[in-house]
Amino acid sequence: MLVNKERDDSNMQCRQRIRLITVTVVALVILAGLGSSSAIVVNKELKTTAYNSGNLLRLHVIANSNSLEDQKLKRRIRDKIIAQTEVLFKEVNSAKRAQEIVKGNLGYIKNVVESELDKMNSEYKVRLDLGNFHFPKRTYGSVTLPAGDYDALRVVLGEGKGENWWCVLFPPFCYIDAVDKESKKQRLADVETEDIEIKMESKLMEYIESNQQLVKKKEKIKSLLRVSITNLNNLFTNNVASD
């Protein structure tokens, strides 16, 4: 009878070990998964003080009309301007200098636009204005710029009755979704900094922030993990002592 009781106690302790080890492993796996998410929660909003209305040079292209062809032409002109001015801005790290370059190259930029219009068999006139204009709040990829007056190059095609299209000529936010995120952040850091906070927001961050249950679950798992490890250590200690 005593042997059977000892055998039963040993089996029970073995099952307890297996159960605790299983719980611990599962907790570790889940905790590891939530660990990366919790790191994002801690840094849920990356703010880069990068721009104000004095250190951005924006681009405003206005199509002749809202027709499909005119809008297509507008986008093509936009792409051409960005591509050509990017070469001009290669060694530039301030919007003030970029504006000076644009001012000195208005004739060149106009020729670029007119050449592109010729390729599209368009006879629209082109008007370029470099000045200070009002812009609404706009978002380019993960970068949001508030409404306000900005220095900009305005390009009017034909009668200029099409819907507005805004962008940033320097730095080139028009392509912000196409460039590598790390190089984009580095480009932002290289520009003169002032007052406006540009918020780099992540949909994942927003999701985690709005689902606090994820954080609570993580804390519960931490507590469970601590209890499991403590119990496991106690069990092993008792077994060694009994042996």
Element (H, E) at 60: strand 57-62
- The model carries a pTM of 0.50
Count CA atoms within 13 Å of residue 3 on its CB side: 0
Q: State what percent of residues in the chain have pLDDT above 90.
A: 21
What is the per-residue pLDDT for 45? 38
CA distance 229 to 235: 10
The rounded mean pLDDT for the chain is: 68
Lowest-pLDDT range, 62-66, 79-83, 138-142, 195-199?
195-199
- Answer yes or no: are the C-beta atoms of 140 and 168 closer than 8 Å: yes
**What is the pLDDT averaged over residues 52-70?**
83
Confidence at 117, pLDDT banded by 50, 70, 90: very high
Degrees, nearest 5: CA angle 120-121-124: 95
Q: Which two three-digit tokens encode residue 146?
A: 């508030």
**Does 43 have pLDDT greater than 50?**
no
Confidence at 119, pLDDT banded by 50, 70, 90: very high
- Answer yes or no: are the C-beta atoms of 106 and 90 closer than 8 Å: no
What is the per-residue pLDDT for 138? 76
Confidence at 168, pLDDT banded by 50, 70, 90: low
**DSSP string spanning 122-182?**
----EEEEEEEEEE--EEETTEEE-SEEEEEEEEEETT--SPEEEEEEETTGGGTTTS-HH
